[in-house]
């Protein structure tokens, strides 16, 4: 039996990334709360609410705040803020990696309500993960992913899922148009 410590690739990569982060002083310039404040959406905490409530974006035409449950763990509060910033960006039709073409926006507008909500939620979560990578501290980001590992796959495959839904909608629209032309002739 060998008494030498095993050197793993993961341990070596971890040490190299820590050294690079320390050397370059990589830290977010803003916290998630400051990013929301800069976007014109200050965070308001709602104290006496149920544990199932996580937060929401103000429902006015021009959102004024993001409400967050005070009883949530810090990493879930950060995700809630990031997700609501994603919904706000959707409301103003800002492009993301998922909704990045005019035809996608047009299809989203004409999609049935169920599919529109599904795509909007996928896009908002995808945007939230990018916001978290940019503005959350490393500890908050890692704590969230330790707790919600399934989100990693939802984030990775969000674009593929949305493309699949859009192609399904396009094919349904084509079939409908063909049937309408056949019925009218």
> Is 2 a residue whose pLDDT tops 70?
no
| Local confidence band at 178 (pLDDT 50, 70, 90 cut-offs) | very high
- How far is it, in rounded angstroms, from Cα 29 to Cα 21? 14
Give 83-108 pLDDT, tens digit per residue: 999 999 998 899 988 888 898 898 89
Q: How many domains does the chain have?
A: 1
Mean pLDDT over residues 114-128, rounded? 90
The DSSP code for 30 is: S
Q: Is residue 2 part of a domain?
A: no
Note down the domain range covering 117: 28-184
If we measure between CA atoms, which residue out of 79, 104, 105, 82 comes closest to residue 92? 105
Mean pLDDT over residues 119-131, rounded? 89
Q: Is residue 119 part of a domain?
A: yes
Q: Is residue 9 part of a domain?
A: no
Q: Is residue 14 part of a domain?
A: no
Q: Is residue 11 part of a domain?
A: no
Mean pLDDT over residues 51-71, rounded? 85
Q: Is residue 66 part of a domain?
A: yes
* pLDDT at 5 (0 to 100): 64
Q: What dihedral do alpha carbons 154, 157, 159, 165 form, nearest 10°? A: -90
> Is 51 a residue whose pLDDT tops 90?
no
* pLDDT at 117 (0 to 100): 93
Q: Is residue 4 part of a domain?
A: no
Q: What contacts 153, CB < 8 A, 6 or more positions away?
A: none
């Amino acid at each position: 039996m060998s008494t030498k410590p095993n050197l793993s690739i993961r341990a070596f990569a971890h040490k190299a990334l820590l050294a690079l982060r320390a050397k370059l002083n990589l830290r977010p310039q803003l916290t998630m709360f400051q990013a929301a404040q800069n976007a014109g959406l200050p965070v308001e905490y709602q104290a006496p609410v149920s544990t199932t409530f996580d937060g929401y974006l103000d429902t006015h035409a021009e959102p004024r705040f993001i409400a967050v449950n005070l009883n949530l763990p810090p990493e879930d509060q950060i995700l809630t803020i990031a997700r609501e910033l994603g919904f706000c960006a959707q409301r103003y039709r800002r492009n993301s990696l998922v909704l990045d073409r005019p035809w996608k926006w047009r299809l989203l507008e004409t999609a049935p309500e169920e599919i529109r909500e599904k795509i909007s939620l996928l896009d908002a979560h995808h945007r939230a993960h990018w916001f978290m990578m940019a503005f959350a501290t490393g500890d908050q980001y890692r704590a969230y992913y330790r707790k919600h590992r399934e989100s990693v796959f939802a984030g990775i495959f969000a674009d593929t899922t949305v493309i699949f839904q859009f192609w399904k909608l396009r094919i349904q629209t084509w079939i409908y148009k063909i049937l309408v032309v056949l019925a009218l002739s």
